Amino acid sequence: MFAGPVFAREAVTAPRRPRLYVFRTLYASMLFVLMCTAWFLVFGTQLINNIGDLARFGTILFRVLCPMQLALIVFLSAVQAASSVSQEKDKNTLILLLLTRITNSELVLGKLFSSLLSIGVMLATAVPIFMLVVLFGGTSFQQVMWVILVTGLSAIAAGSLGATVGFWREKTFQILSITALALAFWIGIWEAVAFVNFEIAGVSSMTIAGAFSPMRAIFAASDPGINLNWQTNVLPFCVVAILVATILNSISILRVRVWNPSRDVRPGQQEEDEKDSIWGTTDGLSNGDGKIETDSSSPSNPAVENTAAESARSEHVDARVRAASQKSRVVWDNPVLWREICTWAYGRKVLVVQIAYWVIFFFVISAVYGIMNSGTSTISALGELIPAFALPLAPFFLVSLVIVNALAVSSVTNERDGRSLDLLLVTDLSPKEFLFGKIGGVFYVAKEMIVLPILICLALWFFKKISLENLIFLTTGLMVLNLFATMLGIHCGMIYYNSRQAIAVSLGTVFFLFLGVMTCMLIMISFSTTSFESMLAPFLAFIVFGGIGLFVGLGAKNPSSAIALASGALPISMFYAITSFLIGQVTPVYIILMTVYGFTTSAMMIPALSEFNISMGRQKSMDDD
């Protein structure tokens, strides 16, 4: 195979796993359900009189599905590639790969394309669904081709980013968080470039942003006039995406054996100088059983031998008199919380994550300040519902929740992969101490991701951009969502033995909830429908499938009535919250979200307080092959 034995093994074993067929079936079904939902929504609320109305429907539907697919594919590609490499590091199998005769290119490209194999299958499955949209009219096959091309190249670039960060950094939290921040920076920086109107050598900022931003490229590819201007609107991004992927993979290929193994896992080298042993003098040689064979030709002197042995024993663990080299630290009553706060449990390079987050924070503040000074008060597509400065804040809040969730799930998976979770379970540590220790540690390490969004809300209230009521809604809502994201990560880390699967389910749940809300809002706004009664029947299938997916992800390993109720309540509550928001009722939205997310958090937390419901993987699954 072109990418070496790593990809060849994945290509051979992937068809044996049921999840490959489940994922592509679910993805195709989701696209088809969205298409049917939009059709029933239009057919039940509006009149379709001629072919032009039908073509208008096809155009709007196509422009809704394309950015949704791009966001999903890019996110999954980056997370899959990053978690694939981090799992090899956590289980210490990457070192074994480095000891083989696999070349750097085979290792890097093999891990990249093996992690993107399922993504490619999902993208290929979506092609027939998009071809069905063409039958409505208003969309051409050339548009579908360009959309698939832009999405595929964006997936390769995002996967290359995740794999490069995975080979570079050591800890899972560092890998996932840096990848999420890099994706946010990738999208945000070019949106900022497009917002600032300037020209360089006759090239406008909008053109530059379109050449580097995947979101702007997908909107250009889905435009009906793409057949006339593809050379200037889409082709530059395709070239840039290929160059970005090539540069990132080249860096990984050149540096993979320099970065790995890191200094944290390299054993300390022993001095070759002869030393006195606790078994006697070093005048003899060891016989392989730990004892010293003395030279029979040298005269025996018991006094000298005992003095040398005691001198060697003074540096050993069983020394008769041994003074501590430094003052020991006092461990708290909850040792898990003490380790999370008082030690570098996630590596010293976690400072890189915090610095990167601060950089993005200042960019977001600058964007909000620029929008407020520009005089733009609201987003035009949403009337008076959403202020314009919410446009950069929404993805910033999402990135914060993703980082908190990534920290929570990796706090458990790292313990399991490092074989330290088995040791914790045989101690007198209680489930309550373990759970609250992990939650407290996540809140402390990710304090910037929790505090800074709240500070932004306080600043908006101080400058009278939001009311006191909205400030209370935002701050308390963010705290509940952070607690939900933390508990979700710990819950997935405990019930899934496979670290890669735990990370995918945990991060995927957070991202799918956000993406589902945005997709529903886009469909409702695009087809000018805000009535709860008229939208309930079309969105019923979407709600049912969402509830089933949540229950499979959260409760399949440990089913309970509380998790089943929470899985069913979340989609219908989010649907009610969206419709209430679109008609201008904010208070019901706050009450519903606080109630349903609080209940879901309790449904995951309460069982974990009574017992260690942790999957130890005593039975090997196919995902571990």
Q: What pLDDT shows up at residue 250? A: 95
Q: Specify whether the CB–CB gap between 23 and 120 falls below 8 A.
A: no
Q: What pLDDT shows up at residue 374? A: 73
Q: What pLDDT shows up at residue 46? A: 64
Please give the Cα distance from 373 to 231 (Å, whole number): 35
**Residue 276's pLDDT band (cuts 50, 70, 90):** very low
- Per the prediction, the chain carries an average pLDDT of 81
Please give the Cα distance from 390 to 403 (Å, whole number): 20
Q: Is the peptide bond before 538 cis (omega within 30 degrees of 0)?
A: no
DSSP label of 199: E
Residues comprising the chain, all counted: 625
Count Cβ atoms below 10 Å from residue 302 Cβ, excluding itself: 7
320: Cβ–Cβ under 8 A, 6 or more apart, which residues?
310, 313, 314
Q: Specify whether the CB–CB gap between 188 and 395 falls below 8 A.
A: yes
Tell me what percent of the residues of the chain surpass a pLDDT of 70: 83
Q: Specify whether the CB–CB gap between 231 and 248 falls below 8 A.
A: no
Distances from the Cα of 276 to the Cαs of 281, 293, 306, 317, 324, in angstroms? 5, 13, 11, 15, 21
Q: Which amino acid is at 444?
A: Y
Q: Which of 67, 11, 411, 12 is nearest to 223 (CA)?
A: 67
User: Which tokens hold the place of 180?
Assistant: 């999420």
Q: What pLDDT shows up at residue 157? A: 95
Q: Where are the domains of the chain?
A: 5-259, 335-618
Judge whether residue 617 has pLDDT over 90.
Answer: no
Write down the residue that tokens 């579908």 correspond to: 144
Kindly report which listed range (10-14, 334-338, 474-478, 567-571) carries the lowest average pLDDT score: 10-14
Kindly report which listed range (153-167, 269-283, 312-326) carries the lowest average pLDDT score: 269-283
User: Which tokens hold the place of 309?
Assistant: 């042995």
Q: What pLDDT shows up at residue 554? A: 86
Q: Specify whether the CB–CB gap between 348 and 169 falls below 8 A.
A: no
| 483-542 per-position pLDDT tens digit | 999 999 999 988 888 888 888 889 888 888 888 888 877 777 776 655 666 677 777 777
Judge whether residue 418 has pLDDT over 80.
Answer: no
| 85-122 per-position pLDDT tens digit | 988 888 888 888 888 888 999 999 999 999 898 899 88
Kindly report which listed range (80-89, 196-205, 281-290) carries the lowest average pLDDT score: 281-290
**Residue 556's pLDDT band (cuts 50, 70, 90):** confident
Judge whether residue 10 has pLDDT over 70.
Answer: yes
Judge whether residue 137 has pLDDT over 90.
Answer: no
| 380-412 per-position pLDDT tens digit | 454 456 777 788 888 899 899 999 999 999 988
CA 217 and chain centroid, separation: 23
Please give the Cα distance from 527 to 38 (Å, whole number): 8
Distances from the Cα of 304 to the Cαs of 281, 300, 308, 319, 426, in angstroms? 8, 9, 6, 18, 45
Q: What pLDDT shows up at residue 611? A: 77
Q: What pLDDT shows up at residue 266? A: 54
**Mean pLDDT score, 415-437:** 84
Containing 3, the helix (H) or strand (E) segment is: none
Write down the residue that tokens 């005089």 correspond to: 375
